[in-house]
């Protein structure tokens, strides 16, 4: 069994899911591809999220690590997983700040375990930043253009 | 031109509120400067040598008189009474206080303007042909496509922390007046023949740029059907976001990725991602482009005289130099030079902005443009009104007849403002334009694009100058490297260094010598650049160092 490299449920500060939080061992992408029974995996910025596509059915938790908030590769990784139909928990971990929350939410993250706990009020305001959005993304929100052209 | 609806306005208002909140958290110590920096940068706020600098977006360089008047008010209220127009069709204020920044953004929002994504590692303001909607040679007006991209790229959730900044230009003519192939992505809107009289699509070029490693963007797709335009752009950006280098900020631009992978491999990856994204469905509904395009319908042009009275030679010279052929033959586009001999390239006072705003309202269907050459433009002037326009400009010191001449210098802020500079750019530009104006050489030499950067970052486009000047630091002494043969236009090329550098006086003399060689060698009808391309570097070297 590979070493658990993930966050624990009590490190999760925000979660937008109803299901039971998983507390399984989290493994690296390499380990996940080699090992048929892992249900939780952590993606580092340099990992190719598409390597996980064959295993999405068995995964219940994907953590995407942001060692530095300004390394934006994790946003693409998140959308790629959602576009491939992944419906399990997608957790942003690491250097996650208030000002990243609204974009992360749009890219499909539904749980957040920031290194440093965030001010609840600031975070609530951040999650609500955009009443409307311009682009289609993983959250499937109707865009401004969609609304403009509604019959 | 494009007008915000309630949605667009709400997005900008939300951004102002968000920035106010971020500034508050910074002041309360909840954000460190390191955390605040990328946030203020996404709102165009830089910290410079002496003060904060605010860069305001002018999407595809188009604005109306109300907006220019607000820019004038801001220059007076919060700066020192002037603003600086930039090579990416934006305006910068150099003397801003952090405490005022949110109020300025709120003022801008009142006239449908903002500073969103004018800096930071995100998709920057989209630039375009300054003659868009007016030029006789355009296939279509490129601005609706640029506006579609503006909306797509504003607050894009996936592309807010790219490896590096990302600049896009959109044009729609064989002529390139936007340095399109020196952008991270360059788009040319084209038409290809089909049964119903022509199908519109987009050519994509990727991986151009200036900076320390200048590159000309290769063509990666010669026709993207317009109904997949945004999807293709998204694919280009996703491949870059995932694989652009993040280990070294000097190698982080897309040009390095395209160069290291090779254009063919980058293209292959984009095509794969494109095919995938088509199945996901990220394209805005088709009607959106039509809705935007309706905002850019031609104004009600009327017939009129097609020639001017040339009896005043000053006026006649200005007409010859500073007007451009319009798609309606009773109109021209009139360039308002912000390059008076001895002046600071691109600077305009609040008073001058108000004069230009008034002229736009009276004579150009309330429309104005900012040119990448750091000038302003009245896109639709009746030939019958030209004399009145010229007289008003002349009275305001705005009628220098020098478009595309050696006085029409592009210069970066350089050591007068910029913390990265090795050398001064502005005083050098001032001295060169003064010198050529005094000796009467400007007209003799004709088209000659001179571009000056104060350091290797190349904000002054020196790589693309017919003559380029680069400030380098030589043991603490300002030193200037001269290069020849660049072009940012459809005949794009990168300039080559002549040899050892010069001090300030020396480089001015060198520019004169180089023009001597040109005048002595030019064949009938040749521009400086043409002569250089025909005779090569040697004769110039000989004159400079021989
Ligand atoms: C005064 C503050 C400024 C600073 C600190 C600054 C900084 C930089 C830096 C670091 C680069 C190189 C980026 C890279 O190669 O990745 C760059 C490029 C550039 N900047 Fe500036 N800049 C400033 C002002 C301006 C102004 C006023 C303009 C417009 C007139 C401008 C236009 C450009 C352009 C066109 C490039 C080249 C883009 C490319 O590399 O493809 N910059 N700037
Ligand atoms: S070229 Fe260098 S000196 Fe000039 S503005 Fe850019 S960073 Fe500053």
Q: For A45-54, what is each residue's pLDDT tens digit?
A: 999 999 999 9
Report the CATH architecture of B313-395: 2-Layer Sandwich (3.30)
Do B134-293 and B410-545 fold alike per CATH? yes
Closest CA to A29 of A16, A17, A13, A46: A46
Distance, C-alpha B532 to centroid of its chain: 25
Q: Is B311 exposed, middle or buried (0-12, 13-18, 19+ CB in 10 A)?
A: exposed
What residues contact B524, with CB distance under 8 A and at least 6 apart? none
Name the strands in the sheet holding B127-128, side by side, starting at the edge strand that comes first in the sequence: B127-128, B168-171, B185-192, B199-206, B219-225
Alpha-carbon span B78 to B65, nearest angstrom? 20
- If you search the block for the tokens 């959109």, which residue do you land on? B170
Q: What is the pLDDT of residue B201?
A: 97
Q: What is the pLDDT of residue B87?
A: 86
Tokens coding B406: 């050696």
CB B414 near ligand 2, within 6 Å: yes
* Largest CA-CA distance found in chain A, in angstroms, rounded: 55
Alpha-carbon span B245 to B255, nearest angstrom? 10
Strand-pair partners of B191? B200
**For the complex shown, is ipTM > 0.90?**
yes
Tell me how many degrees the CA angle A86-A92-A95 measures, rounded to the nearest 5: 160
Distance, C-alpha A32 to centroid of its chain: 17
Give me the DSSP letters along A1-29: -----S--GGG--EE---SPPP-PPEEEH
Q: What is the pLDDT of residue A2?
A: 59
Number of domains into which chain A is organized = 1
CATH code for the structural domain at B410-545: 3.30.413.10
**Distance (Å) of CA B75 to CA B71, B125, B346, B351:** 6, 21, 14, 10
CATH code for the structural domain at B134-293: 3.30.413.10
Nearest CA residue ID for atom 9, ligand 1: B457
Q: What is the pLDDT of residue A151?
A: 67
Residue B157 with chain A: CB contacts under 8 Å: 75, 102-104, 106-107, 133, 135, 137
CB B412 near ligand 2, within 6 Å: yes
In terms of DSSP bridges, do strands A40-43 and A26-28 run parallel, antiparallel, or are they unpaired? parallel
Query: Nearest-CA residue of chain A relative to B290?
Result: A149
The helices-and-strands tally (H runs, E runs) of chain B is 17, 20
A/B interface, count of CB pairs below 8 Å: 103
Tokens coding B331: 């109109």
Helix (H) or strand (E) holding A57: none
When the candidates are 3.90.1150.10, 1.10.510.10, 3.40.50.620, 3.90.480.20, the CATH number that belongs to B6-110 is 3.90.480.20
For chain B, the structural domain boundaries read 6-110, 134-293, 313-395, 410-545
Tokens coding B335: 């360039």
Q: What is the pLDDT of residue A5?
A: 83
Tokens coding A20: 């039971």
Alpha-carbon span B224 to A81, nearest angstrom? 26
Q: What is the pLDDT of residue B530?
A: 98
CB B346 near ligand 2, within 6 Å: no
Please give the residue range of the domain that contains residue A71. Answer: 3-148
Q: What is the pLDDT of residue B476?
A: 78
Q: What is the pLDDT of residue B427?
A: 95
Q: What is the pLDDT of residue B417?
A: 84
Q: What is the pLDDT of residue B51?
A: 80
Within a 13 Å sphere around the CA of B157, how many CA atoms are in the beta-carbon half? 30
B76 Rama sector, left if φ>0, alpha if ψ -120 to 50, beta otherwise: alpha
Q: List, run by run, the mean pLDDT of 10-residue segments along chain B (546 residues).
A: 95 91 84 84 82 91 97 96 90 88 94 92 95 96 98 96 96 97 98 88 97 96 97 98 96 97 98 98 96 97 96 97 96 97 94 97 97 96 98 96 96 90 95 96 96 96 97 85 98 97 96 98 97 98 95
Inter-chain contact A134–B155, Cβ cutoff 8 Å?
yes
Q: For A6-30, what is each residue's pLDDT tens digit?
A: 898 999 999 999 999 988 788 899 9
Report yes or no: B330 and B305 within 8 Å, Cβ to Cβ. Answer: yes
Q: What is the pLDDT of residue B43?
A: 87
**pLDDT string in tens for chain A (151-residue length):** 557 888 989 999 999 999 999 887 888 999 888 877 889 999 999 999 999 999 999 999 999 999 999 999 999 999 999 999 999 999 999 999 998 999 999 999 999 999 999 999 989 999 998 899 999 999 989 999 999 998 6
């Amino acid at each position: 069994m590979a070493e658990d490299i993930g966050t624990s449920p009590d490190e999760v500060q925000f979660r937008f899911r109803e299901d039971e939080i998983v507390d399984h061992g989290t493994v690296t992408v390499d380990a996940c591809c080699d090992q048929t029974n892992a249900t939780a995996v952590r993606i580092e910025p340099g990992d190719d999220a598409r390597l996980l596509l064959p295993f999405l059915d068995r995964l219940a938790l994907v953590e995407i690590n942001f060692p530095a908030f300004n390394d934006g590769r994790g946003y693409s990784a998140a959308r790629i997983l959602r576009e491939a139909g992944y419906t399990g928990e997608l957790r942003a971990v690491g250097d996650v700040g208030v000002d990243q929350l609204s974009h992360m939410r749009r890219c499909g993250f539904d749980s957040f375990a920031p290194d440093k706990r965030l001010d609840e009020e600031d975070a609530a305001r951040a999650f609500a930043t955009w009443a409307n959005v311009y682009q289609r993304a993983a959250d499937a929100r109707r865009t401004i253009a969609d609304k403009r052209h509604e019959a | 031109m494009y007008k915000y609806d309630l949605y667009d306005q709400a997005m900008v208002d939300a951004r102002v509120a968000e920035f106010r909140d971020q500034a508050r958290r910074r002041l309360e110590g909840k954000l460190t400067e390191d955390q605040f920096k990328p946030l203020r940068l996404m709102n165009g706020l830089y910290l410079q040598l002496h003060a904060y600098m605010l860069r305001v977006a002018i999407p595809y360089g188009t604005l109306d008189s109300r907006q220019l008047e607000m820019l004038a008010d801001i220059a007076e209220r919060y700066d020192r009474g002037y603003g600086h127009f930039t090579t990416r069709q934006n305006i910068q204020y150099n003397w801003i206080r952090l405490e005022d920044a949110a109020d300025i953004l709120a003022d801008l929002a009142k006239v449908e303007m903002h500073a969103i994504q004018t800096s930071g590692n995100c998709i920057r303001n989209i630039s375009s042909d300054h003659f868009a909607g007016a030029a006789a040679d355009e296939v279509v007006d490129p601005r609706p496509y640029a506006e579609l991209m503006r909306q797509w790229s504003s607050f894009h959730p996936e592309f807010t922390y790219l490896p590096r900044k990302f600049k896009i230009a959109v044009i729609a003519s064989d002529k390139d007046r936007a340095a399109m192939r020196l952008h991270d992505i360059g788009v040319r809107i084209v038409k290809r023949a089909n049964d119903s009289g022509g199908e519109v699509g987009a050519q994509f070029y990727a991986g151009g740029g200036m900076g320390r490693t200048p590159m000309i963007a290769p063509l990666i797709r010669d026709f993207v059907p317009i109904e997949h335009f945004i999807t293709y752009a998204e694919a280009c950006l996703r491949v870059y976001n995932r694989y652009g280098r993040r280990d070294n900020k000097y190698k982080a631009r897309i040009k390095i990725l395209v160069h290291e992978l090779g254009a063919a491999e980058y293209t292959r990856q984009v095509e794969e991602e494109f095919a995938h994204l088509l199945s996901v469905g990220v394209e805005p509904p088709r009607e959106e482009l039509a809705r935007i395009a309706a905002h850019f319908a031609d104004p009600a042009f009327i017939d009129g005289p097609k020639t001017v009275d040339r009896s005043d030679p000053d006026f006649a010279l200005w007409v010859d130099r500073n007007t451009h052929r319009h798609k309606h033959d009773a109109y021209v586009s009139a360039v308002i030079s912000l390059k008076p001999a001895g002046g600071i390239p691109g600077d305009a006072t609040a008073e001058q902005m108000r004069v230009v705003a008034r002229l736009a309202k009276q004579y150009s269907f309330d429309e104005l443009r900012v040119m990448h050459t750091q000038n302003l433009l009245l896109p639709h002037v009746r030939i019958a009104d030209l004399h009145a326009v010229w007289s008003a400009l002349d009275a305001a010191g705005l009628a220098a007849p020098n478009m595309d001449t050696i006085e029409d210098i592009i210069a970066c802020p350089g050591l007068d403002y910029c913390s990265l500079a090795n050398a001064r750019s502005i005083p050098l530009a001032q001295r060169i334009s003064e010198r050529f104006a005094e000796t009467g050489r400007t007209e003799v030499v004709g088209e000659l694009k001179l571009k000056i950067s104060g350091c290797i970052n190349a904000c002054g486009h020196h790589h693309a100058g017919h003559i380029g000047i680069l400030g380098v630091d030589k043991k603490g002494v300002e030193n200037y490297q001269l290069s020849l043969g660049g072009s940012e236009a459809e005949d794009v090329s990168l300039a080559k260094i002549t040899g050892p550098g010069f001090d300030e006086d020396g480089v001015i003399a060198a520019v004169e010598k180089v023009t001597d060689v040109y005048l002595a060698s030019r064949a009938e009808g040749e521009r400086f650049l043409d002569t250089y391309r025909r005779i090569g570097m040697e004769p110039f070297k000989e004159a400079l160092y021989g």
